[in-house]
Amino acid sequence: MTVPQAAGTSQLLAARLQIPPIPYSHAAGSWVYASDGKRYLDGASGIVNVNIGHAHPVVVDALREQVGICTYASPGTFAPTQMQQLAAATARAVHRPDDQVMFTPTGTHATEAAIALARLVQRARGEEGRHKILTSSLGYHGNSAFVLALSGHRSRRPHPDDSFGVAPAFDPPYPGQHLGCPLPVCQAECARSVRDAIVEAGPETVAAVLLEPVNGTTGGGYVPPAGYLRAVREICDEYGVLFIQDEVLTGLGRTGLPLASHHTPGADADIVTLSKGLGAGYVPLAATMLAPRLAEDIMSSGKWLPLMGTMSATPLQGTAGLAVLSVLEDLGVFDRDVVKGEAVGKLVTEAVRGQAVVKNVRGLGYFYGIELTPGTLGDVMRITRSHGLLLYPFVNWHPDRTGEGLLIAPPLNSTDTDLDFLGETLRTSLAQAGERVN
């Protein structure tokens, strides 16, 4: 669905959706206001990151104040007061209170840091040969050359010459994605393909397994079968492999609990990455969280941590992150006893009922993927947009490179009125698209 910018229209080199971008004036809460006065509900929270809506006054006020005080203080030279506070607040928010936290600007950097830390931990433990990172054939972890080479984003796979000799190692437990699986439906036992991948790679060479606990933008919200994550956790333990969970998209409440792994008791990661919900669209910000025993292994080995980048820990990022977390806390997002987002699940279920253009729906909490019948995505996007609703497309995730769908992921603080608009507009737009198909 993304195509290169047409030559001559602008000097900006950037991917674009097939429908033209909207000139806009401002945004507030769940709404973006176009230059022509029309307003759009941001039904996918930007790219599933504007999790507390646009221009939230708590964040705006905090940023405004911090910009006037100090935006940059060289990491390593000046006391990183805000980042220390943010490390503690982030660790508390996701119920990993004793983790050590490394900050970087993007989800991609968080993945790179997680990989570097996993390898470092293995070497600190005397496991010199453990460098491989095993990933799933359907998943996304970022857009650096190396991380793209590792990830199962089918349409972003690099040219074979550019893939550093690495590739995804196992199939995920999702319908049509777990090739050669002997089971009729996906079950926790599908974790055996992770075991097979470790054995095939040679356990003494494997540093970590890296996966998204709930599939994000590649397959549109596939949820693993109950117990799958715990089964992977157990397999990792059995072979001395670390478990990295990429919660860049799912973390901080998107799936209705602080972490997506909280849906599965006994499936805690060794290393967790967060980003979208932490910067929430206000500043570039990501966190890589390391369980305390791993941090101790590194510290006691005397090995050097991966070096931080120029913009990896600024007072502005710290201030923004703390303000975002305080808003999320007030919304009750960090409560791990009750799954939130029920209203979103309900509106999606009602909107897709009996719709000719809908093939499948999946997701949980505040995050759903609607798989559309082939050839209808462009129409559905144009129609939803004409009715003032913005959704995010996902495409080409099936092994044969087909598949088209839309993500529903409103801000976690959407009002009842926002959600009513989302549900009703989605329902009428899908029906309208269905009439064209029939």
Ligand X SMILES: Cc1ncc(COP(=O)(O)O)c(C=O)c1O
Decide whether 139 or 423 has the Cβ nearer to ligand X: 139
Residue of the chain from 40, 103, 140, 174 that contacts ligand X (CB under 6 A): 140
Least Cβ distance, residue 154 to ligand X (angstroms) = 15
Can you tell me which residue has the tokens 């990792």? 236
Task: Give the whole-angstrom CA distance, residue 226 versus residue 229.
Answer: 8
The 8 Å CB, 24+ separation contacts for 17-26 are 17/381, 17/393, 18/378, 19/378, 19/381, 19/382, 19/385, 22/385, 26/55
Decide whether 29 or 213 has the Cβ nearer to ligand X: 213
Residue 423 interacting with ligand X (CB under 6 A):
no
How many residues contact ligand X, by CB under 6 A?
A: 15
Of the listed pieces 7-15, 137-145, 178-186, 264-272, which binds ligand X according to CB under 6 A?
Answer: 137-145
- Chain positions 56 to 115 lying near ligand X, rule: CB under 6 A, are 106-108, 111
Decide whether 320 or 383 has the Cβ nearer to ligand X: 320
Decide whether 264 or 273 has the Cβ nearer to ligand X: 273
List the one residue out of 402, 397, 372 whose CA is nearest residue 384.
372
- Chain positions 205 to 244 lying near ligand X, rule: CB under 6 A, are 212, 216-217
Q: Is 382 exposed, middle or buried (0-12, 13-18, 19+ CB in 10 A)?
A: middle
Residue of the chain from 54, 119, 141, 254 that contacts ligand X (CB under 6 A): 141
Task: Give the whole-angstrom CA distance, residue 210 versus residue 141.
Answer: 9
Residue 377 interacting with ligand X (CB under 6 A):
no
Least Cβ distance, residue 354 to ligand X (angstroms) = 31
Residue 376 interacting with ligand X (CB under 6 A):
no
CA 34 to chain centre: 27
Residue of the chain from 42, 112, 246, 371 that contacts ligand X (CB under 6 A): 246
- What would the DSSP string read from start to end of 244-263? EEEETTTTTTTTSSSSGGGG
- Chain positions 261 to 280 lying near ligand X, rule: CB under 6 A, are 275
Residue of the chain from 83, 248, 259, 352 that contacts ligand X (CB under 6 A): 248
| DSSP letter, residue 35 | T
Name the residue whose CB lies closest to ligand X.
107
CB within 8 Å of 255: residues ≥ 6 apart = 214, 263, 341, 364, 365, 366, 367
Give yes or no for a contact between 271 and 78, defined as CB atoms under 8 angstroms apart: no
Least Cβ distance, residue 212 to ligand X (angstroms) = 5
Decide whether 252 or 419 has the Cβ nearer to ligand X: 252
Q: Which residues bind ligand X (CB under 6 A)?
A: 106-108, 111, 140-143, 212, 216-217, 246, 248-249, 275
